[in-house]
Amino acid sequence: MDRLRQMFTVVANDDGTTSATRIQRHILGSGIQLDDFRLQTTMERLQALGDTLIDFEAFAALVSDELLMLNRVFRRELVIPDWQEFCTDIETVFKQVAPLVSGNNASYIPILRDADPEKWGVALCSVDGQRIEIGDVDVYHSIQSVSKPITYAYAIEKEGTDFVHQFVGAEPSGRPFNSLELLPDLRPFNPCVNAGAIMTAGMVASSWPEREAREITTEIMNLWSGLCGDCGEVRYSEATMLSEKDTADNNFAIAYLLRGGRGLPRDVDLHKMLDLYLSCCSIEMTASMLAVAAATLANGGVCPITGRQVLSTEAVKKTLSVMQAAGMYDNAGVFTLEVGLPAKSGVAGAVLTVVPNLMGFATFSPRLDPCGNSVRGVAFCRQLVELFTFHIYDSLSGGRTGCKRDPRASQHNRKQRDLSDLRWAVSHGDRYALKVRDLLLESMVAITLADGEIEEPELETMAETYAEIMGHPPEHGELQAMALSRQSQIEAIDSPDPFEQLLQHLATEQLQLDDNARELILEAAFRVACADGEIEPEEDVQLRGIAGALGISEGVLELEIARFQRQRAGERAFPVSPW
C-alpha cells in the first residue's frame, strides 16, 4: 500500500484528491499516449468518471488492473525517465537543423522531383512507447529504399537465413547503390543496394508462385502495418510505381545480369521480381509511422505500442546488422564512423534510424546529398549522437564522452548522487575531490572577471552555486579575495592572461577528470555567466573556451545555452542548468 500511496501523491492536489484530467496530463507528460494498449481499462474508467474528484480509495480501484504500467509512468521508471527534458533537447536539435537548405530533391521521377523541399519532420518512439513528433511528420511519402531491410527481414522469416544468403551477400559494397558490380561469386553485395534488394524481391516473389506482384506487396504492407502498430494507414502509390517502372532501365540491367550470372531463385519471372521490388519502393508512409517501426526494430521485433511480436529477434538482429553496414548507400562507412547506428535512407527524403534497446526515430526532408541521403536527416543524426550516448561505441569512453547525456538515466538523480559523493570525499580530504572543487572555483572567478569588473550579483551567484554544489557556503570573503587577486593579475601589464592560464590548467587536468567533474566545473561557470540574466559576448567566448578545455562537446554547451534562453523567454520552466 505504501507504493500505491506514493503513486497517488504524484498526481494528488493539496486537498488529497485528484482528477481524470490531472492523471491524463501526467501520463502524457511521461511520453505515453492516452490510447496506449497497456492503459485501456484505466482510460475507460477515467472517461466514465468525468469531472468527479478522485480520492485515494477511488484511485486504488481505478489503477488496480494496470498497476505495473502506471507505477512505471508515475514513478518515472520508463526507459527515458526525464521525458520532457529529452523532448526539449530534441526540439532544439530540430530547430538547429531546419535552416540547412543544401541538396536537391531526387529528380528521376516527377513525384519525387515536385515534392515540397521545405518539408521537415522528426518523430521518435522509445521501446516503452514514449513518442514525440515535430514538424511535418504526417506527410505521406514513398518509402523507397527504406523498404529494402524490411523486405529482407520478411524473406528471412519466410525462407530462412541459409536460403536467403545463397542469393544475396552481407558485405558493404563501397559503391553507389545502383552499381552493377557483384561479389566474386556473382551474388549482390547486400540487401540494401539495388541488386541485393531486387534479388531479395525475387526470393519473396518465388515463394508465392500463384500470386501477382501487387498481391505480394500487400503482404509486405501488412508487415509494415504491424511494425508501426497500425498507427496509420500504409498506402500504395500506383503513380509512383508507374514512374519507377518508366525509369527502371538500370534496374532491368541489374535483373538481367543477376539472371545471367548466378540465376534467379526458383527461376522466378524477372518482370514479376522487378514489379515486386518497385512496388515495395512505392509504399507510402509518414515519419510518425516509420518512427514506431524503427522502435519495433529497436525492441527486438516487439511493437512498443501494441505489444505484438512482429518479427523474430533473430531476423531483427540480422536486419540491423545489414543496415549498420550498408543502409546509407555509399556513405554507410562514414555514417557508421560518425553516427554509429543502424539506419536506412530513401530518396524521397526519409531516414529511419534505430538505437537498439532504447528507441527508433525517423526524419523526413526531401533535399538529398550527393549520396542520395537526406541532408537534414543525416545532420539530425549527427547532432543527436554529439549530444547523447547513442553511438555504438560510446560505452568504450571510460566515463569521458564529452559530457554527452544518457537519456536512459535520470540526470537529476545522477547529479544528486554525484554531489553527495563529492561532498563526502571533500570532507575527508580526498585529493581528486579537492581538485574538482578548486577548479570550479577558478572557473567561476574567471567568468566573474569576463568584463574586467567584479559585480555583486556575480559574487552572490558564486556563493550560491558553491553552496549548492558543496552543501555549505564558502568561507567568508574567500570568493571576493580570489576575484580581487585575479583582477590584480589582469591589471599587471607583464602578467600572463589569467584566463589563458586557467584554460591551460583545465586542458592539462581534463585528462584526469571524468564527465561528472567536467559537468560540475562548466555548470559553475555557466551559472555565474548567467547571474545578470543574460550571457554577454565576452562570457560566451569564455564559456566556450572552458568547455573546449574540458573536452566537452560544443553541442552540449549549445543545449544549455538554448535552455537558458528559453527560460528567459518564458517558454519553459527549467532551471538555468539541468546539470
pLDDT digits (tens, 9 = 90+) for 189-219: 999 999 999 999 999 999 999 999 999 999 9
Q: How far apart are CA 83 and CA 33, in angstroms?
A: 13
415 and 389, same structural domain? no
pLDDT over 90 (residue 539): no
Q: Three cell numbers at 179?
A: 552499381
Read off the pLDDT of residues 266-280 as tens digits, 9 standing for 90 and up.
Answer: 999 999 999 999 999
Contact 440, 520 (CB under 8 A): yes
20 and 122, same structural domain? no
Give the number of C-alpha atoms closer than 13 A to the C-alpha of residue 540, restricted to the C-beta side: 9
pLDDT over 80 (residue 491): no
155 and 43, same structural domain? no
Tell which residue, 193, 214, 372, 225, has the closest CA to residue 282.
214
> What would the mean pLDDT of 233-243 be, rounded to a whole number?
96
559 and 416, same structural domain? yes
| Of residues 260 and 401, more confidently modeled | 260
Q: Three cell numbers at 33?
A: 499516449
Of the listed ranges 133-142, 469-478, 546-555, the one predicted with least confidence: 469-478
Tell which residue, 513, 343, 363, has the closest CA to residue 438.
513
CATH of the domain at 8: 1.10.238.210
pLDDT over 60 (residue 122): yes
Sheet containing strand 131-135, edge to edge, reads 131-135, 121-126, 359-364, 350-355, 343-345
Q: Considering its fold, how many domains does the chain have in total?
A: 3
Does the residue 290 lie in any domain?
yes
326 and 221, same structural domain? yes
557 and 507, same structural domain? yes
354 and 237, same structural domain? yes
pLDDT of residue 86: 94
106 and 190, same structural domain? yes
496 and 387, same structural domain? no
pLDDT over 60 (residue 574): no
Read off the pLDDT of residues 509-522 as tens digits, 9 standing for 90 and up.
Answer: 888 888 888 888 98
Angle at 127 between CA 125 and CA 131, to 5 degrees: 25
pLDDT of residue 575: 39
pLDDT of residue 571: 46
DSSP H or E stretch at residue 235: strand 235-236
380 and 333, same structural domain? yes
Does the residue 162 lie in any domain?
yes
Residue 52 belongs to what domain range?
2-74
SS (H, E, C) 455-501: CHHHHHHHHHHHHHHHCCCCCCCHHHHHHHHHHHHHHCCCCCCHHHH
Q: How far apart are CA 153 and CA 551, in angstroms?
A: 41
Q: For the chain, give the mean pLDDT.
A: 90
pLDDT over 80 (residue 563): no
pLDDT of residue 570: 62
Q: How far apart are CA 264 and CA 341, in angstroms?
A: 32
- Determine if the pTM surpasses 0.85: yes
Contact 106, 368 (CB under 8 A): yes
Strands 121-126 and 359-364: antiparallel
CA–CA distances in Å: residue 369 to residues 306, 323, 345, 419: 36, 19, 11, 45
